[in-house]
Amino acid sequence: MPRKFNFGAGPATMPESVLLEVQEELLDWNGLGLSVMEISHRSPEFVEIAKQAESDFRELLSISDNFAVLFTHGGATMQNAMVPLNLATPDGMASYVNSGHWAKRSIKEAGRYTNVKIAASSEEADFQYFPEQSSWILDAESAYVHYTPNETIGGLCLRTLESSSVPVVADYSSGILSEPIEIDNFSLIYGGAQKNIGPSGLGFVIVKKELLGNPQPITPNLLNYTLIHEGESMSNTPPTFAWYVAGKVFKWLKSIGGVEAIAEINNRKATKLYDFIDSSDFYKNEIKTENRSIMNVPFLLSNEDLNSLFLEESNKAGLLALKGHRSVGGMRASIYNGLPEEGVDALLNFMESFEQKYSDA
Ligand SMILES: Cc1ncc(COP(=O)(O)O)c(C=O)c1O
């Protein structure tokens, strides 16, 4: 059966060559007569896989030795607790930028462990723009300022970050590895793997080493960055298979030219889609132009009565998971690194013919 195009927000499309390699190695990894799933995380073979993945991830993002790279359990959501537990105090404060659904989830959880100050919010405008960094109100007492550079559901993003007087923490779940970033402007970057890195179940944390060592006393050992770092992300059994696949995705990305090369493709894919939407009265995207995400493109049909027909017909055409999140409605095309450009071309052809067919409906 031919593979279909998956526009889901995550778990997302994987590069096909990675899936084929995994398939080939599934029963017998590296001549060991076992699947990589069946070998101990403490074995020299797996330790080598883990080390290589970290080294490739570091190379792709030019992460210096000033930062620790951790691979974690619990996806991105676990970080909503881990960040304040490790960087803030119950009596102190942390600042948060409210840019949509995922930022709100982070804010709510952080409030259980520290005092949250809202540095900026675009809620009054229904999150149709991302609060500019220059508008963030930061208290010098804040342990950090947290923001969500790419809001996966709303489809809005903040593309660049200048250096900041308060340490910056970013939930980069849906933007990591999609374009180059200046790591040194951040103090901590985290995310779930299931968009641009690999299978779900794995999370990543890139944290300045100087911030380690001061967790709140109640922090469970398994959520303690310092212990995770000391234990080389193996305080207990890690999600080994997901880690192995992530390593393959890093190799794939390096083989096609790294983050700069994928950024060029990503920008081309997103531009095509936004240009088409803007040129039509049938489709619309209401996010402020400079804040439009290049990973998640939500769009509405002017005639919302056609929503289910759009989803039914696109599904039949092999274009899957285009339904928008219930809080936004309409459609959303997630066009992560693994989704080939032909997927976007196929979607555009479909959208064009759907418009021709139903514009008088
Ligand atoms: C920006 C962002 N943050 C957090 C999450 C939650 O991730 P997880 O399911 O890995 O906890 C998601 C999931 O889509 C996301 O897009």
Quick: pLDDT tens for 259-271.
Answer: 999 999 999 999 9
> Is CATH 3.40.640.10 the classification given to domain 16-255?
yes
Mean pLDDT of 212-233: 98
Please indicate whether residue 153, judged by its CB atom, sits closer than 6 Å to ligand 1: no
Q: Is 102 considered catalytic here?
A: yes
d(CA 92, CA 98) in angstroms, rounded, equals 19
Residues 270 and 342: beta-carbon distance below 8 Å: no
Please indicate whether residue 77, judged by its CB atom, sits closer than 6 Å to ligand 1: yes
Whether the predicted pLDDT of 142 surpasses 80: yes
d(CA 134, CA 270) in angstroms, rounded, equals 26
Q: How many CB atoms lie within 10 A of CB 80?
A: 23
- Residue among 67, 26, 33 nearest 244 (CA): 26
Q: pTM of the full predicted structure?
A: 0.98
**What backbone phi and psi angles, to 5 degrees, belong to 144?**
-165, 165
Per-residue pLDDT of 305-315, as tens digits, reads: 999 999 999 99
- For the domain 258-358, what is the CATH superfamily, name and number? Aspartate Aminotransferase, domain 1 (3.90.1150.10)
Please indicate whether residue 336, judged by its CB atom, sits closer than 6 Å to ligand 1: no
Query: Residue 339 has which token pair?
Result: 């989704």
Report pLDDT for 151: 98
d(CA 100, CA 173) in angstroms, rounded, equals 14
DSSP secondary-structure letter at 323?
A: B
Closest C-alpha residue for ligand 1 atom 4: 76
Q: Is 243 considered catalytic here?
A: no
Q: State the distance from the centre of ligand 1 to the C-alpha of 77, rounded, in angstroms.
A: 6
Q: State the distance from the centre of ligand 1 to the C-alpha of 195, rounded, in angstroms.
A: 9
Q: In b/e form, how buried is each residue of 54-64, taking b as 16+ CB within 10 angstroms?
A: bebbbebbebe
Residue ranges per domain, the chain?
Answer: 16-255, 258-358
d(CA 154, CA 101) in angstroms, rounded, equals 7
Please indicate whether residue 152, judged by its CB atom, sits closer than 6 Å to ligand 1: yes
Report pLDDT for 1: 74
Residues 117 and 92: beta-carbon distance below 8 Å: no
Whether the predicted pLDDT of 2 surpasses 90: no
- Residue among 1, 64, 18 nearest 256 (CA): 18
**Catalytic residue, candidates 29, 195, 252, 323:** 195
Please indicate whether residue 187, judged by its CB atom, sits closer than 6 Å to ligand 1: no
Report pLDDT for 206: 99
Return the ligand 1 atom nearest residue 172 CA: 1
Residues 226 and 207: beta-carbon distance below 8 Å: no
Report pLDDT for 322: 98
Q: Across the chain, where does the E strand assignment appear? A: 5-6, 67-72, 93-98, 115-121, 142-147, 150-151, 156-157, 168-171, 188-192, 203-208, 283-284, 296-301, 319-320, 331-334
The pLDDT-based confidence of 360 (bands split at 50, 70, 90) is: confident
